[in-house]
Amino acid sequence: MYVSPTAAEVREVVIRVFRERGTVTEVEERMRIDDGKLTARCYRANGLFAMWLLPVDLLQFYDTDGNMLQTINLRVLIAGARRAA
């Protein structure tokens, strides 16, 4: 049975990837709501941007120019981490 990742689990992934890309400052987090439903969580730090698309559990990272840098399938990543724990 699939269980969606928690906001805390995703935030940890975002912080790790931002640090790998040289950003170690505080991360700003916002939520996107469409038609009364939470559809995305957005994260920013030093010009880097990440967006968690909740309906499909994808986490996408962008540089300061808006170029996509990386996509992480959270269903695969989090499920593997939970099994390992």
Pairing of strands 37-45, 28-34: antiparallel
Q: Regarding predicted confidence, which is higher, 52 or 76?
A: 52
Return d(Cα 81, Cα 45) in angstroms, integer.
25
Instruction: Say which residue the tokens 């805390």 belong to.
Output: 8
**Span 45-60, pLDDT tens digits:** 999 999 999 999 999 9
Return d(Cα 51, Cα 58) in angstroms, integer.
8
Instruction: For residue 67, give both structure tokens.
Output: 């170029």
Instruction: For residue 79, give both structure tokens.
Output: 């499920």
What is the pLDDT at residue 3? 74
